[in-house]
Amino acid sequence: MFKTRITELFGIKYPIIAGAMAQLSLAELVAAVSNAGGLGSLASVTFSTGHELKEEIRKTKNLTDKPFAVNFPIIPPGMMPEVEAVSISPEKVLEIIIEEEVRVVETLIFTPEPYMERFKQAGVKVFHKTPSLRHALSAEKAGVDAIAMLGIEGGGHPGEDEVGALVRIPATVDALKIPVIAAGGIVDARGFVAAMALGAEGVLMGTRFVNTHESAIHSKIREWMLQAKDTDTCLIEKSSRIPERVLMNKTVMELLELEKQGVTRAEKMHLLSQENVIRGWREGDTEGAALSSGQGVGLIHETITVKEVIDNMINGATSILERLGYLIRT
């Protein structure tokens, strides 16, 4: 029922992808998604050395024999110094992906064009995540196999356009020839069916997979997220032209105030550091870091396993389609 160009392209059972999340998309979570029929994606930015990334790829392979992806952020120099300072260079990540025979790559931020020839030569399938139709068209021209289009509802970096998925997804489907993956605000079967109705051939979720048993977050963060409403996220760093959707807390309020005052991004690094983010996710510090989350957090009311998330989506989607079919017949 849910066979699409995306399932065929990546060799997966269901067109459900876990977007790579820094510090969280580790082997256990990635393998759990792939084992449940989706496509897990390992966050390369989590690792500061090539050896660490290699070990995590090999660990993932030991946990699953199913396809999984590695994300490949392409960050222009100086754009995100807090990430650049602790991350492996794109050239090194590319080398490891090819050496370790990873078959799917999730590119993001800047154009993948300079790397596409080597990916193609190695037989790697590439999908590019972007919040911009202009960049999606550019990536299609560069030769990527699919586009993951992120609406403004999504966590992480949903771009400057501030267009919701309900509009962005069909506009992207109309403009491209390659398959489109919908992202932003999708956490359950309802969002999955809606995305497919808009013309998408798969969905990419982050926030829903954050609050699962396989995710490496502290119990305090789990409970905090379960209490959050859809209005408890906001966009920071709009003035820096790198907007990020995060959960509201003390640090975020301070960042918003500094932004109003015209303080530069460089002067706010003490609040945006990866050390703060790691401490937040791993040690349960709910106030000391800006932690990425989509608006869909307000629809998540329990912590369950990854398999339960995916099974619930597929079973729920089947029930929704049966109900819609009944309405049409009557």
pLDDT tens-digit profile, the chain (330 residues): 699 999 999 999 999 999 999 899 999 999 999 999 999 999 999 998 999 999 999 999 999 999 999 999 998 777 777 676 667 888 999 999 999 999 999 999 889 999 999 999 999 999 999 999 999 999 999 999 999 999 999 999 999 999 999 999 999 999 999 999 999 999 999 999 999 999 999 999 999 999 999 999 999 999 999 999 999 999 999 998 899 999 999 999 999 999 999 999 889 989 998 899 999 999 999 999 999 999 999 999 999 999 999 999 999 999 999 999 877 876
pLDDT of res. 304: 98
- Say which residues have a Cβ less than 8 Å from residue 167's Cβ, sequence separation at least 6: none
What are the backbone angles phi and psi of residue 16, rounded to the nearest 5°? Answer: -125, 125
Q: How many CB atoms lie within 10 A of CB 256?
A: 16
Residue 155 contacts residue 233 (beta carbons within 8 Å): yes
Query: For residue 247, how many C-alpha atoms fall within 13 Å in the half-sphere facing its CB?
Result: 25
Q: How many CB atoms lie within 10 A of CB 283?
A: 13
Locate the domains of the chain by residue range.
5-218+294-329
Q: Which two tokens stand for residue 181?
A: 């993956």
pLDDT of res. 76: 76
Q: Which CATH class is domain 5-218+294-329?
A: alpha beta
- Strand-strand pairing, 146-150 and 180-183: parallel
The pLDDT tens digits of the residues spanning 43-59 come to 999 998 999 999 999 99
pLDDT of res. 164: 95
pLDDT of res. 86: 66
